[in-house]
Amino acid sequence: MVAMTYAQNILNLKMAENEFTSNKQFLQTTGDQVDDVAWSIGRTQTISYSSKYGNIQFKDVALNYTFSISSNNGTTWDDLSFDGTTGIIMFNMPVSSYSIGNDYFERIPSNANSSFLLPDSFSPISQVICEEKLPMNDGSFSRIVLVPTMRMLSSSVSSQSQPTNYFKFYLPSLDNGTNRYLSQSITLTGDGISKVTRSDVDLVRITVSFPQAESLGLDSSFFQFQSDSITLTLPQDSVVEFYTGKVVVAIGQV
């Protein structure tokens, strides 16, 4: 009986480990779908997952991105009234089922950039992190987290006088939908695109803050970005465009 109990415990641990690993891929796939849905109003995509030990949760208003611009080389700054707030999607597995060790942190893939701003069209518009951080207010879990980040694209249009430089920033904004928990799936729906344009810009500053830091512990140390603020020096008199694509996230829709 002792041997059978030991073997059963080992089997459960291996099953939980395999489930945790497979859901890493699930949230990476979900991140790719967020990128497709965010920029197509009305588009819907459902992604299924499988879990015996864990659960999917949506945490609303986990990140807030603030945009500031300067047309005077940093002498004065204009804070844009622009909605850069987004939630996150988390797969939580109780540490009683599977533990990777307190303070464990992994960004997926292993060579992923730790900045919240990525400057090319091939970069993912979201990141996936694996983390175990104890204690936290909502319980003791090994977590896989889908974190919306930003993409920047640049271009130049020539004219007879001088070229005009354009810098476009894209952020998916995840919003809470109707969570029925009737199936193991996530449904994403594109629900609108917002745009703010400014010209004659020399500097752009983007800062990320964490509205759920105090209540849930989702703070800077949880996300571990390379920096919580980035300042970009642009060619003189550049045009900047900020886009947010609203994505409604519904868990367990059927």
Q: What number is the average pLDDT over the span 80-88? A: 86
DSSP 200: E
Contact residues for 159 (Cβ-Cβ < 8 A; gap 6+): none
Q: Which tokens belong to 85?
A: 């707030």
Cα-based distances in Å from 200 to 83, 122, 154, 237: 22, 27, 15, 4
**For residue 3, what pLDDT band results from cuts at 50, 70 and 90?**
low
Q: How many folded domains does the chain comprise? A: 1
Residue-level pLDDT at 11: 59
Residue-level pLDDT at 82: 75
Average pLDDT, the chain: 90
Contact 174, 159 (CB under 8 A): no
Q: Which tokens belong to 88?
A: 């996150």
Q: Is 21 strand, coil or helix? A: helix
Q: What is the pLDDT of residues 192-221, one digit of tens each?
A: 999 999 999 999 999 999 999 999 999 999
- For 159, the domain range is 2-251
